């Protein structure tokens, strides 16, 4: 609050030089017209166009005195204590009085509150009062967490039908199985079956039947009376079956104009698994993982040279591969893949050769830390400025380390574990670019070389690695606020030198070395369930790979694996027509 604002607020509190009274029920607020005039077009009109110049008392209805007090306080100070209890009424009243600043404060608070249980209510609120920014963020949250929203939200069954259609028709709806969408539709209908059964013909066209398992369709969809007894829905099923058979798998992959009945769900982001060590050699393999379909797609570009024990980073629409080993020598070279043009380009090399390097991005720079130059483990570090195409040394770390892993978090760089050339490390260092200094932080509970580190749920997770005697499945999480580590659930399989990435609120570990051989296995951790779950294996077994998450791809359709099991059902239409009507009285919706 400025000195002038503070003075006006003191005058308001003391009722000094006030020239208007806002009356809310039995409560009177003595205010200065000029303050409210400057803050709100509503009060500007109230004081100038909707009343005479001598009018001093104004009755304000349909607002509580507590909320009015907060509104006035915001007009004077630019600040208001927003809570879960008052945010909705404040938001609605700020809209009524046309106070954009307060609406933004409420919108920011509501956005910070988004969770599966309340996101639908926030979306509907923003939609009702036409606040597009909050509406978009709430809808994006629903699409991203739909599997949990459909189960956990008490507001889901209360959705108006046209809002439900907006959700399920969206290509960006994130579900691992289309069956989830179908079951959510049934849940919504069954909430008021007699009134809502008629909506099946409106909702069913937006369920991607072609993406569902054929056995599930035959046992659950085609035998459901809501489906079977609706001529419109039966026609949709038959048209979908026909459409699928008209498109071979090859055409389905390459066509740019998707048939309306078999559109894919589009992932918001992908995991790239780049390079690595396989069958005794470095490889140039690049695979992309689609979390919507749990599939890997091969994206290997022949012009990229094989490399292992390297780092990778995504910055400004480009994927960078940094350092590593090509079986002949340790590398200082850096390759850049333009994700739009699919072309590789060499950029300035690092000042040092760095195999087993740790790489992260912070504030528009790529950091390359430590590593092995063929002679010794390194404590030196440098960063790359893509605008200048130039690497610059930063302060060296306290300890030399290769096989470490680093992340950026809250404006700083953290590096964990690694290998000195003599022993594995449990130590952690933090780099502050503002001071160009490294600080030793709390050590991990285990020594970890070949460790995977990622920022997840506002903590730094350190997973797996090699302790010096064995490969680890254990994991621990670091809280920068308390400077302390705590144990978290271990992986299903021990591994070191693997890829790690966070996508769709889950932490993925990819490939690696399990102590006996390289692996193609993938698993992910979900903090909501506190469980590790197997995901689809890569096509290539490899360790020493690097993973990164890639968003906002223009050619996302090229990465969609056609999940159309109905292709395996040449007699799908006849199967449907020969089924006998089920007993509607015993069917569970």
304 and 224 belong to one structural domain: no
* Residue 177: predicted pLDDT: 87
Among 81, 113, 145, give the residue marking a domain's end: 113
Do 290 and 431 lie in a common domain? yes
**Rounded to whole angstroms, what are the CA distances from 224 to 188, 551, 575?**
15, 38, 14
Does 166 lie in the same domain as 258?
Answer: yes
- Statement to judge: residues 477 and 412 lie in one domain: yes
The CATH number of residue 443's host domain is 2.120.10.80
How many C-beta neighbours within 10 Å does residue 571 have?
10
Q: Which residues pair with 369 in a beta bridge?
A: 358, 381
Asked if residue 138 is part of any domain, the answer here is: no
The candidate with the shortest Cα–Cα distance to 209, out of 234, 189, 172, is 234
Whether residue 223 lies inside any domain: the answer is yes
- Report the alpha-carbon distance of residue 140 to residue 72 in Å, rounded: 33
Strand partners, 471: 466
Q: Which residues contact 188 (CB under 8 A, 6 or more apart)?
A: 156, 157, 159, 164, 196, 203
Three-state secondary-structure class, residue 61: coil
Does one domain contain both 231 and 172? yes
pLDDT digits (tens, 9 = 90+) for 124-143: 999 999 999 999 999 999 99
C-alpha 555/C-alpha 327 separation (Å) is 33
Q: Using one digit for the tens of pLDDT, what is the confidence trace for 37-78?
A: 889 999 998 888 777 777 889 988 889 999 999 999 999 888
pLDDT at 292: 80
Verify that 253 and 292 share a domain, yes or no: no
- pLDDT for 341 equals 85
* 468 and 550 share one domain: yes
Neighbouring-strand partners of residue 270: 550
Range of the domain at 56: 3-113
Tell me the pTM: 0.73
* CATH number of residue 257's parent domain: 1.25.40.420
CA gap 372, 419 in Å, rounded? 10
Which of 79, 113, 147 represents a domain boundary (last residue)?
113
Query: Is 281:309 a contact under the CB 8 Å cutoff?
Result: no
- Asked if residue 143 is part of any domain, the answer here is no
Q: How far apart are CA 272 and CA 548, in angstroms?
A: 5
Number of structural domains, the chain? 3
Same domain, 551 and 571: no
Let me know whether 418 and 533 are in one domain. Answer: yes
In a domain, 130, yes or no: no
Question: Is residue 137 included in any domain, yes or no?
Answer: no
List the strands of the sheet with 358-362, edge to edge.
358-362, 365-369, 381-385, 390-394
Q: Residue 95 is part of a domain; what is its CATH number?
A: 3.30.710.10
CA distance 64 to 83: 16
**Is residue 488 assigned to a domain?**
yes
CB-CB contact of 323 with 353 (8 Å): yes
Rounded CA separation 473/514 (Å): 9
Q: Rounded to whole angstroms, how far apart are CA atoms 348 and 302?
A: 21
User: Within this chain, do residues 411 and 454 fall inside the same structural domain, yes or no?
Assistant: yes
What pLDDT score does 300 carry? 78
Parallel, antiparallel or unpaired: strands 365-369 and 381-385: antiparallel
Tell me the average pLDDT of the chain. 89
Q: Same domain, yes or no, for 71 and 95?
A: yes
Q: Whole-angstrom Cα distance, residue 25 to residue 65?
A: 8
Could you give the CA distance from residue 451 to residue 463 in angstroms, rounded to a whole number?
A: 6
Q: Is 133 a member of any domain? A: no
Question: 63 in the Ramachandran plot: left (φ > 0), alpha (ψ -120 to 50) or beta?
Answer: beta
Torsion of CA 25, 30, 34, 36, to 10 degrees: -40
Structure tokens at 210: 């072609």
Please write the tens of the pLDDT for every residue from 83-115: 999 999 999 999 999 999 999 999 999 999 999
* Residues in the chain where the model's pLDDT stays below 70: 1-8, 243-262, 301-303, 554-589
Looking at residue 134, what is its pLDDT? 96
Do 13 and 61 share a domain, yes or no? yes
The two three-digit tokens of residue 123, written as one number? 């979306």
In a domain, 125, yes or no: no
């Amino acid at each position: 609050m400025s000195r002038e604002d503070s003075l006006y607020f003191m005058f308001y509190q003391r009722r000094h030089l006030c020239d208007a009274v806002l009356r809310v029920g039995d409560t009177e607020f003595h205010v200065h017209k000029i303050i409210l005039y400057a803050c709100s077009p509503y009060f500007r009109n109230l004081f100038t166009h909707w009343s005479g110049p001598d009018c001093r008392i104004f009755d304000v209805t349909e607002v509580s005195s507590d909320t009015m007090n907060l509104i006035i306080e915001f007009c004077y100070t630019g600040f208001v204590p927003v809570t879960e209890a008052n945010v909705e009424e404040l938001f609605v009243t700020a809209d009524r009085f046309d106070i954009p600043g307060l609406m933004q404060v409420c919108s920011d608070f509501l956005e910070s509150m988004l969770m599966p249980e309340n996101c639908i209510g926030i979306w509907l609120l923003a939609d009702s009062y036409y606040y597009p920014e909050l509406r978009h963020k709430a809808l994006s949250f629903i699409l991203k967490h739909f599997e949990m929203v459909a189960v956990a939200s008490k507001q889901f069954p209360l959705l108006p039908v046209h809002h439900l259609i907006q959700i399920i028709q969206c290509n960006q709806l994130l579900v691992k199985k289309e069956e989830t969408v179908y079951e959510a539709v049934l849940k919504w209908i069954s909430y008021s079956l007699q009134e809502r059964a008629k909506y099946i013909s409106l909702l069913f066209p937006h369920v991607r039947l072609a993406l569902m398992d054929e056995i599930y369709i035959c046992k659950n969809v085609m035998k459901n009376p809501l489906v079977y007894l609706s001529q419109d829905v039966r026609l949709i099923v038959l048209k979908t079956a026909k459409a699928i058979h008209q498109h071979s798998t090859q055409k389905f992959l390459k066509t740019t104009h998707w048939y309306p009945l078999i559109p894919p769900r589009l992932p918001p982001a992908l995991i790239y698994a780049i390079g690595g060590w396989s069958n005794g050699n470095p490889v140039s393999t690049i695979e992309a993982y689609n979390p919507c379909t749990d599939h890997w797609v091969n994206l290997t570009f022949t012009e990229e040279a094989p490399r292992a024990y390297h780092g990778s980073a995504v910055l400004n629409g480009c994927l960078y591969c940094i350092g590593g080993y090509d079986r002949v020598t340790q590398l200082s070279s850096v390759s850049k893949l333009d994700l739009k043009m699919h072309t590789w380009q060499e950029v300035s090399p690092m000042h040092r050769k760095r195999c087993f390097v740790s790489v992260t991005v912070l504030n528009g720079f790529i950091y390359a830390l430590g590593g092995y130059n063929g002679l010794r483990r390194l404590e030196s570090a440098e960063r790359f400025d893509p605008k200048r195409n130039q690497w610059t040394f930063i302060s060296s770390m306290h300890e030399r380390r290769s096989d470490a892993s680093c992340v950026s978090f809250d404006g700083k760089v953290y590096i964990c574990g690694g290998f000195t050339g003599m022993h594995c490390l449990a130590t952690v260092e933090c780099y502050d670019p503002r001071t160009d200094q490294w600080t030793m932080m709390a050590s991990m509970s285990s020594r970890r070389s070949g460790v995977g580190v990622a920022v997840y749920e506002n903590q730094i997770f350190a997973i797996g690695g090699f302790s010096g005697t064995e490969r680890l499945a254990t994991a621990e999480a670091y809280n920068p606020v308390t400077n302390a580590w705590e144990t978290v659930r271990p992986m299903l399989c021990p591994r070191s030198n693997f890829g790690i990435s966070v996508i769709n609120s889950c932490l993925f570990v990819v490939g690696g070395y399990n102590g006996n051989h390289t692996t193609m296995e993938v698993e992910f951790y979900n903090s909501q369930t506190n469980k590790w779950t197997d995901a689809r294996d890569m096509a290539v077994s490899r360790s020493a790979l690097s993973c990164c998450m890639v968003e906002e791809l223009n050619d996302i359709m090229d990465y969609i694996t056609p999940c159309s099991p109905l292709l395996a059902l040449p007699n799908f239409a006849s199967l449907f027509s020969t089924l006998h009507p089920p007993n509607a009285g015993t069917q569970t919706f």
